A and B are shown apart, each in its own frame.
Chain A
Amino acid sequence: MLFYSALTFSQGLTNTLLLMGISAIMMLISGAKLKKLLVVLLVYGVCGGIFFTIKSLNDSKEENLNLDPKTEVVVAAEVEELPTDNALVQFLTKNFGRGGTWVARFIRHYTPPQLVDQKMNSKNQQEMYARMAQANSNRYGIFPTGVGPGNSRECSRLPLAFSDYIYSIITEELGIVGALFVLLLFVGLVFRAKRIALQCSYAFPSFLVMGMSVMISLQALFHMAINTGVVPVSGQPLPLVSMGGTSTLMVSVAFGIMLSVSRYAIQNAHDKELKKADHDKLPENLRAENPTL
């Protein structure tokens, strides 16, 4: 897990954060002590920091080697366009490669001037159009139900509206009512999974169903946070809603696993005869009792 997290840290920041979040939540659910959990998070941080530094230095070396005069001019022009770029951000983006870009993104996101005061350019146009789409949802100012399906104005301008920014389009077309409905679907999934987990007799199915629901919902919340500007821009699809290949398949598999647990584990938990037969048939390493009961 540590090695996996460390390697993904150098590959994709948001995926790594999600993975860390899921594993931390799973440890909390399974009843890990806070002290142990903090130690694990500390190790995560140290390993991630080491890989982050190595990757950053590597990237900056590669960039220096493959320096193209034309590219340099374009990058310099784009940096000048941004009024929020202070000396620190410019230093990070120039000297620390991709790693520096991640940190610079956070600094840009949480330091004034805010998005409304900026001019639109290639770097912030996604955020701008996403905000416009959300603002457009209450165009008539009567009832916040949006402009209606198919009447979106920003879908033709917002880059990747069908995957990374579909929540903005949902907000524009279905209004705050539709946006809250989608949010409630994902939150409801966790609560339903919790209910299933509490009904399971054994630890394995209860952890499995909670893990799957947390995985789906955390990714959805991350997507919504990106769309609404709570966290910096990053590519994260909305599970099952965004257009995507393997994402759709894997989320469907996660739903299938949850349904299988609700189908087989719960019915056996209620029936004493079945529970006994089930217990005898289980392999020894799956017979651990549910710790949450």
Chain B
Amino acid sequence: MSKESTLTAEVEDKKAQRNIGDPVIWGIYISLVLISMVESFSASSQIIGTGAGMYAPIFKHAILLFGGFCALLVFYFTNYKNFPSSSHSSLLLPSWLLSSRPSSGRISMVPSVPSTWDSSRYNRPKWLKYLLWLSLHGLRHHTNDAKMYPIEEFSYAPH
């Protein structure tokens, strides 16, 4: 790596550290989380009887929101340039999450189809597409969460 590119990378890193992202999107996220905490606590009165106690549903929801915030931070600190390469591996997360709940899941081989169709264009080894297909085949996937993958594929594919 040349000296110039190292310097540019350092400048880029420093600038990125100072930049916290779009403040309005942060504001919307925090507002929605706060509304969610207040309203979910209020609306969860039906399931309190079946839970461990009064605060059990909201405690569970708070943990999920915290998990979501951690996931947000992971993607927040990742440069967008790395998303195309990680889009296939990101398929595994909801597949793994939902594989233990067959009633809420859907067959997951479907979102992998566009990936395998286009895989030859991205110089991936041929065996990888079969590996992706086989590794995802049979696991279950929620269609609601799968909406993200066509967007990634669409954003990537036209170029």
The answer to whether B44 and A243 have CB atoms under 8 Å apart is yes
The answer to whether B45 and A3 have CB atoms under 8 Å apart is no
B25: contacting residue among A219, A262, A265, A277, CB under 8 A: A262
The answer to whether A97 has its CB under 8 Å from any CB of chain B is no
The answer to whether B110 and A8 have CB atoms under 8 Å apart is yes
What number of B residues sit within 8 Å (CB to CB) of A? 79
The answer to whether A250 has its CB under 8 Å from any CB of chain B is yes
Tell which of A19, A169, A255 has the most Cβ of chain B within 10 Å.
A255
B80: contacting residue among A3, A204, A236, A253, CB under 8 A: A204
B72: contacting residue among A149, A152, A256, CB under 8 A: A256
Collect the chain B residues with CB atoms within 8 Å of residue A253's CB. 68, 71-72, 75, 90, 148
Q: How far is the CA of A286 from the CA of B80 in the complex (A)?
A: 11
The answer to whether A292 has its CB under 8 Å from any CB of chain B is no
The answer to whether A257 and B83 have CB atoms under 8 Å apart is yes
A241: contacting residue among B35, B111, B148, CB under 8 A: B35
B95 to chain A, nearest CB (A): 10
Q: How far is the CA of A161 from the CA of B145 in the complex (A)?
A: 21
The answer to whether B155 has its CB under 8 Å from any CB of chain A is yes
The answer to whether B147 has its CB under 8 Å from any CB of chain A is yes
Q: Which residues of A contact B (CB under 8 A)?
A: 1, 3-4, 7-8, 11-12, 15-16, 18-19, 22-23, 26, 30, 149-150, 152, 155-156, 159, 161-162, 166, 169-170, 173, 182, 185, 188-189, 192-193, 196, 203-205, 207-208, 211-212, 215, 219, 236-237, 239-268, 271, 273-274, 277-278, 281-283, 285-288
A-B contact pairs, 29 of them (CB 8 A): A11-B143, A19-B143, A19-B147, A19-B150, A22-B151, A23-B150, A149-B42, A155-B43, A161-B43, A161-B46, A166-B43, A185-B28, A189-B25, A193-B25, A196-B22, A208-B152, A212-B151, A240-B32, A248-B64, A248-B68, A249-B67, A251-B68, A254-B148, A260-B83, A263-B21, A274-B8, A277-B8, A277-B12, A281-B81
Q: Given A252-B72, A261-B80, A286-B84, 16 more contacts at CB 8 Å? A: A1-B154, A8-B146, A22-B150, A30-B154, A149-B42, A155-B45, A162-B40, A169-B42, A182-B35, A207-B151, A208-B155, A211-B152, A253-B75, A259-B72, A260-B78, A285-B121
